[in-house]
Amino acid sequence: MTKTLLSFGHGYSARALSMLLQAGGGWQVIGTTRTADKAEAVRNSGAEPLIWPGGHIRPALEAATHLLISAGPGKGGDPVLATLRDEITRAAPRLEWVGYLSTTGVYGDHQGGWVDETTPLTPTTQRGKLRQDAEAAWQAIPNLPLHIFRLAGIYGPGRGPFAKVRAGKARRIIKPDQVFSRIHVEDIAQVLAASMRAPDPGAIYNLCDDDPAPPQDVIGYAAKLLGLPMPEAIDFDDAEMSPMARSFYAESKRVRNDRIKDDLGIKLRYPSYRDGLTAMAASEG
């Protein structure tokens, strides 16, 4: 029996999931996008594009057995719930699985310490606070088979350090004791697919690899793979950065991923950024 996934905000991670589901067969995927010029990217992932807001979303919602929410919240809250809360509340009893893509930014700053899914949420950035509020809003819908996925920094084909390194624009920003966790987009897809096969409403999962690392190490490894000079090292306090870029350095933590392994049986394809970047360099030639 064909299942139908309605994907709100069908971006980078959702497209990877769509391609994985389509490879296995038995799925119809409908992906929303804000503008017609992005519809081709949705279609290339094997999904049927639907312009939203603006399109007629209710038939797709009525057909859906699964929902994935990737659309980020704004000052007005979660954009899906802002317009469709009542419809989703009515649909909740017949939905088999709902996935909400959040961020490990909800944990806030732990000065390089470890966090897991039981760690209290203490976000320090505006983005993290909006995600915390959005999680709570989705959790407040009764009988919704909700699963929350807190994603670390996402990378993968077309999204990584190679372009900047090749262009000579990469810098190794040095901030003592700064570490980030990361996750390859293909591992995001396999975790989501595994959860869809074994729903556990109310579950929360961290999505990250096994190797939290300083950002300068990642840039340096990318340069090594490309056989290019090591990018310049610049002290964080002296670096010219946008407010958005600087905000990423406001928090430092190591994120545990035991739950996706223990509960979903996940074996990461790319357990370290070294594995992911090496595979990306080989595929890009």
What share of the chain in percent tops pLDDT 70? 99
Residue 29 lies in a domain: yes
pLDDT of residue 147: 98
What's the pLDDT at 17?
Answer: 98
Q: Which residues are registered as beta bridge partners of 49? A: 31
Instruction: Give the pLDDT score at 43.
Output: 95
The token pair that represents 156 in the structure block: 């993968």
How is residue 34 annotated by DSSP? S
In sequence order, which residues have a C-beta less than 8 Å from that of residue 219 and are 6 or more positions away? 161, 165, 170, 171, 172, 231
The answer on pLDDT for 134 being more than 80 is yes
Please state, for a pLDDT cut of 90, what percent of the chain lies above it. 88
85-103 mean pLDDT: 96
**Is residue 275 assigned to a domain?**
no
User: What is the CATH classification number for the domain harbouring 9?
Assistant: 3.40.50.720
pLDDT at residue 55 is higher than 80: no
Q: Please report where in the chains the tokens 């990250």 appear, as a residue.
A: 208
The pLDDT of 149-156, averaged and rounded, is 97
Residue 123 belongs to some domain of the structure: yes
Within 8 A by CB and 6+ apart from 133, the residues are: 73, 77
Assess if residue 167 is contained within a domain.
no
Residue 184 confidence (pLDDT) above 60 = yes
How far, in Å, CA of 81 to CA of 63, rounded?
Answer: 18
Tell me, yes or no, whether 279 lies in a domain: no
Task: Work out the average pLDDT over 144-148.
Answer: 98
- Helix and strand numbers (H, E) in the chain are 11, 13
Phi, psi of 33 (to 5 degrees): -145, 150
- Asked if residue 63 belongs to a domain, the reply is yes
Q: Is residue 78 scored above 80 in pLDDT?
A: yes
In a domain, 215, yes or no: no
Using the predicted structure, report yes or no on whether residue 285 has a pLDDT greater than 60: no
What pLDDT digit, counting tens, does each position of 57-77 carry?
999 999 999 999 999 999 889
Per the structure, the count of domains in the chain is: 1
Helix 273-284 vs helix 215-226: angle between axes, to the nearest 10 degrees? 30
- Looking at residue 68, its pLDDT comes to 98
CB burial readout 269-283, b (16+ within 10 A) else e: ebebbbbbbebbbee
Structural domain that includes position 65: 3-154+184-208+254-269
| Of the candidate ranges 85-89, 241-245, 274-278, the one whose mean pLDDT is the lowest | 241-245
Strand order in the sheet with 66-69: 48-51, 27-33, 3-8, 66-69, 97-103, 146-151, 204-207
In whole numbers, what is the pLDDT of the chain averaged over residues? Answer: 95
> Is a pLDDT exceeding 60 seen at residue 47?
yes
Domain annotation covers residue 240: no
Instruction: Quickly list H helices, the chain.
Output: 12-24, 39-44, 58-63, 79-91, 126-139, 162-167, 185-197, 215-226, 243-248, 258-264, 273-284
Q: How far, in Å, CA of 235 to CA of 254, rounded? A: 22
User: pLDDT tens-digit profile of 21-38?
Assistant: 999 889 999 999 988 889
Q: What is the pLDDT of residues 198-223, one digit of tens each?
A: 999 999 999 999 999 999 999 999 99
Supply the pLDDT for residue 284.
Answer: 79
